[in-house]
Amino acid sequence: SQTIHQWPATLVQPVGSPLSLECTVEGTSNPNLYWYRQAAGRGLQLLFYSIGIDQISSEVPQNLSASRPQDRQFILSSKKLLLSDSGFYLCAWSAGGSYSNQPQHFGDGTRLSIL
Amino acid sequence: QKEVEQDPGPLSVPEGAIVSLNCTYSNSAFQYFMWYRQYSRKGPELLMYTYSSGNKEDGRFTAQVDKSSKYISLFIRDSQPSDSATYLCARVRIQGAQKLVFGQGTRLTINP
């Protein structure tokens, strides 16, 4: 069966520091991968999605970037964190294919607090 | 107008009650719909996935899609305290890679 792992679960960082959040998927090949942010009491905002290695699309302009160095690894990064980057970051995967309508499956997220 | 709108609640009902959760959507294209359940400090968990109009049942959960009114619903029968969570509706928007547009989520509490 497929599993998705995210770490760390909780992170407290000072303003201006760098960020690296990692997500890995097991049990599937060539998945579509996604990064979301969920602000308190709000729905999920799609940040990045990827249909393959080094194929990443950004949904909204922001202080963050994403990379996919391996088929089942997705990394969310920032060079300098802002206070507004605080939130709950979720990684998700779905079965691959450009026109797939398969559901997405989420990890348990990273709660990021910027001080 | 948001693509998917959902009443944020909170909604509080007694154990055993039938719960009705609702969303409306504005774009008629790509009509796949999903319901997710999210416990506090956890990622969303897929509950139901529907395409056509009508009902889809899975145990105590029923998802209903009414495309004519652009309305999607999730019914929970015999609600349990363990059903207390935030419920998110989502619509699939396929543009090169599958994307989901989420509602705000409804926070539900089932009181014993």
Rounded Cα–Cα distance for residues A63 and B93 (Å) = 25
The pLDDT value given to residue B98: 74
Rounded Cα–Cα distance for residues B112 and B36 (Å) = 23
Burial (CB < 10 A; 0-12, 13-18, 19+), residue A12, is: exposed
φ and ψ of A102, to 5 deg: -75, 150
- Percentage of the residues of chain B whose pLDDT score is greater than 90: 59
A67 in reach of chain B (CB within 8 A): no
Residue of chain B whose alpha carbon sits nearest to that of A50: B97
- A109 has pLDDT over 90: yes
Residue of chain A whose alpha carbon sits nearest to that of B40: A108
Smallest CA–CA separation between A15 and chain B, in Å?
A: 23
Residue of chain A whose alpha carbon sits nearest to that of B95: A99
The pLDDT value given to residue B94: 63
Residue A36's DSSP bridge partners are: A46, A90
> Band of the pLDDT at A83, cuts 50, 70, 90?
very high
> Would you give the end-to-end CA distance of chain A in angstroms?
38
Minimal CA–CA distance to B72: which of B84, B87, B94? Answer: B87
The pLDDT value given to residue B97: 61
Residue A41 has its nearest CB partner, among B8, B34, B41, at B8
- B10 has pLDDT over 60: yes
The pLDDT value given to residue B51: 79
The pLDDT value given to residue A102: 79
Rounded Cα–Cα distance for residues B19 and B37 (Å) = 14
A1 in reach of chain B (CB within 8 A): no
**CB-CB neighbors (< 8 A) of B89 in chain A:** none
Q: Is A16 left (phi over 0), alpha (psi -120 to 50) or beta?
A: left
Mean pLDDT of B70-96: 89
Mean pLDDT of B63-74: 90
Using alpha carbons only, give the angle A85, A49, B24 rounded to the nearest 5 degrees.
Answer: 85
Mean pLDDT of B37-53: 90
- A99 has pLDDT over 60: no
- Percentage of the residues of chain A whose pLDDT score is greater than 70: 96
Smallest CA–CA separation between A106 and chain B, in Å?
A: 6
The pLDDT value given to residue A97: 66
Mean pLDDT of A75-101: 88
Minimal CA–CA distance to B100: which of A29, A38, A101? Answer: A101
